[in-house]
Amino acid sequence: MIHTTRSRMIIITTFVVTIVVAIIAVGLGSVHISVPNILTTLLNGRDQEGVYTTIIWDIRLPRVLLALIIGASIAISGALLQAVMGNPLADPGLTGVTSGAAAFVLLILLANPELTHFIPLAAIVGGLIAAAIVYALAWRRTGITPITIILSGVAVNALCGGVIGFLSILYSDRLPSAVQWMNGSLAAKGNASLHMIYLYAIIGWVLSIFAIRKANIIRLGDQVATNLGESVTRIRIMLSILAVFLAAISVAAVGMISFIGLIIPHMARLLVGSDYKYMLPMSMALGAIVLLIADTGGRTLFAPLDIPAGILMAVIGGPYFLYLMRKKAF
């Protein structure tokens, strides 16, 4: 009971901190806006004329909300994949899902830019195809095991990386327009990007809540799940599709952002334990706040340069991951 109360308090506190950080992030930039002015502008709505209204409602607030949504979605995706594979090293990047979605999105951005409104669909299809190949390669007569999924994911990830490289060379003259996206940037992402993704994200989050029980069952092990009358393979496929969906829509919106799906669920597990009833919302809140901080730092610390959040996450996440490995935290 004490552990449950503590976990709930940690989750609530993290969500409150996320809101505070989001308000502060809206005020940071080339034009500094104080918190009272931010709150006043938000409460008055976007119909009121003024410089702050344009900056907040049309530029910074959409970008902040997008960072929160993308961070939360990738973290949930990673948490689900770690349940599927029974391995805290699993994440959308390692299993080829991210690169599969990226390859299909890049195919549109470089070869068929007139079809940009199909990017979310292309990302989902690309992610699902990559996941299907992974499962086909990992399938054995006795079913699917975590290690075969991870090994197959590494192979598919390399294959998709080759496709991305080939497309980059083939359409090198159009590559500058896609560089920001390839690096996981939220720069110049406005209301259009937010409107493109938020509904998909809400659907994915709601489905994730319904998947908590299945995730808890499978994390107990294949034998326990089978004894409870559950189909382990069916649960793995169901959770994987949901994880692919959340990762793919994130790739479609801002490109490839690494380490959030890997590290955030691990941090959440340390704070609230392995029960997905608490671990999943904790991952959601932590993923949102970490990506928001990375994006805000990228656009303010090196101004007027706008460093993509994907690059900062790789720079920060790589050493942190090595630190965890050294501490044998996995």
Tens digits of residue pLDDT in 139-186: 776 666 667 777 788 888 888 888 888 888 888 877 776 777 777 777
Q: pLDDT at position 142, please? A: 65
Enumerate the β-bridge partners of residue 140: 143
CA dihedral 263, 211, 141, 130 (to 10 degrees): -60
Cβ-Cβ contacts under 8 Å for 159 (sequence gap 6 or more): 96
* Distance of alpha carbon 60 from alpha carbon 279, whole angstroms: 30
Most confidently modeled of 70-79, 162-171, 210-219, 313-322?
Answer: 70-79
Confidence of residue 3 (pLDDT cuts 50, 70, 90): low
Quick check: 29 and 299 in contact, CB under 8 A? Answer: yes
DSSP labels for 252-289?
A: HHH----SHHHHHHHHHHHHH-S-HHHHHHHHHHHHHH
Q: Express the helix, strand and coil content of the chain in percent, nearest 5 each.
A: 80, 0, 20
What burial class does residue 138 get, using C-beta atoms within 10 Å of its C-beta: 0-12 exposed, 13-18 middle, 19+ buried?
A: buried
Three-state secondary-structure class, residue 206: helix
pLDDT, tens only, 221-271 = 778 778 877 788 888 888 888 998 998 888 888 888 878 888 899 889 889
Structure confidence at residue 12 (pLDDT):
93
Element (H, E) at 58: none
Given a contact cutoff of 8 angstroms between Cβ atoms, the answer to whether 28 and 296 are in contact is yes
- 57-94 confidence digits (pLDDT tens): 888 899 999 999 999 999 999 999 888 877 777 778 77
pTM: 0.88
Give SS3 for 143. strand
